[in-house]
Amino acid sequence: MTPVPTALLAGLDRHLPGLLDLYRDLHAHPELSHQEFRTAGIVAARLRGQGWAVTEGVGGTGVVGVLGSGPGPVVLLRADMDALPVREATGLPYASTRTATDAAGREVPVMHACGHDVHVTCLLGATALLAENRHAWRGTVVAVFQPAEEVGGAPAMVADHFAERFPRPDVCLAQHVTPAPAGLVATRPGTFMAASDSLAVRLHGRGGHGSAPEAAVDPVVMAAATVMRLQTVVSREVAADRSAVVTVASLHAGTRENVIPDTADLTVNIRSTTPAVREHVLAAVERIVRAEAAASAAPQEPDITVVNGFPMTVNDAEATATVQAALRADLGRDRVLDLPRPLTGSEDFGAFGAALGAPSVYWTFGGLDPAAFAGADLLADGIPTEIPHNHSPLFAPVPEPTLELGVRHLLLAATPWLDTDRKREK
């Protein structure tokens, strides 16, 4: 890799062994959303040791560091900290064996199956270099370590008087590791990721003996019919040139094989990439849930509760072009992809820019061995299905060179706003 001449990166090689150790430690000690106490403590201690002004407990377990170096723009850099209720199956020597109690009171396995341990490590590497190289930049950096990505973490931090407590940014930047070759970055102006809406559904039946279903109203059959019917929303109600995803990710009912229960509980997740499709799909899901209950002669209407929802992640066009130019100067033009369409994954990072009135740029970067993608056309065909994706128990970014690249991406993306020794690429 040909290094880009910027003093912001001075000392990165020296920090890499420590960052590798930190990453392995975070990976082995994951924490669920809104429970990131240990991670937040590590983040706060490291930021203070680097010389940042630190505020803890923002929006729950969020940590915010502020560092200034003279007058100039304000840049917000964000990393998310939470892990998932997934049992790790990577076989790594630093694999997680942790369990925790989730919000419903269940004991669940915990794993950094989405790579947020990579994000925390990379941002802490970037904050260390920003602190050491303050002579090389002008402005203010707000480092945000967010809890509960996709589960209300960003809105919670915003609601905790973020705008009044911290410098207002001129740009908000964030990144996410993906199952793509290390050294590859992808972004696009405009809509980058889908909106996300999660619903909890309780279907009401009438319990009874398994030998006499005619005397009961079986919510298990009602739930099964609902799940199958929901599969038609995208295939029959969304145009082929639009995109949406409807996923029923959990279904719980009953306690014994010979007892028909009174209720069945579903969770439904919806992704959409235009406001019109979002509105239509949400209405279709509710229509189907209520219609299947009526068709089953349910004794009462279903309970449909909104668990969370947040809009599409939208990249500012001008700021995105600036970030792309900065990253292409480092990686090369062919390594920074301009995606042809939005991703169906979702992010709540956009809550910061929307609430603070600042342009946002979000990008993904590869974290896997490039050899695993030999012959694959990622833009045309997507990630090969045999490659473990985010949220898989087998998802395991390779620490080298992923961590080094993640630190570089953050600093180089911020460079055009920080009046450094690097010339802007237009």
Active site residues: 82, 149
Q: For residue 239, count other CB atoms closer than 10 A to its CB.
A: 8
Write the single-letter amino acid at 354.
Answer: A
Tokens of 263: 């209720």
Closest CA to 170 of 129, 191, 141: 141
Q: For residue 341, count other CB atoms closer than 10 A to its CB.
A: 11
In three-state secondary structure terms, 210 is coil
Q: How many CA atoms lie within 13 A of 252 on its CB side?
A: 7
Instruction: Give CA torsion, residues 70, 75, 76, 79, to 10 deg.
Output: -100
DSSP state of 9: G
| DSSP string over 376-409 | --HHHH-S-TTSPPTT-TT----HHHHHHHHHHH
Instruction: Give CA torsion, residues 325, 331, 333, 338, to 10 deg.
Output: -70
Strands (E), 70-134: 74-80, 99-101, 107-109
Distance CA 370, CA 180 (A): 8
Write the single-letter amino acid at 45.
Answer: A
Tokens of 306: 């909104």
Distance CA 134, CA 50 (A): 11
Write the single-letter amino acid at 413.
Answer: A
- First vs last C-alpha separation in the chain: 21
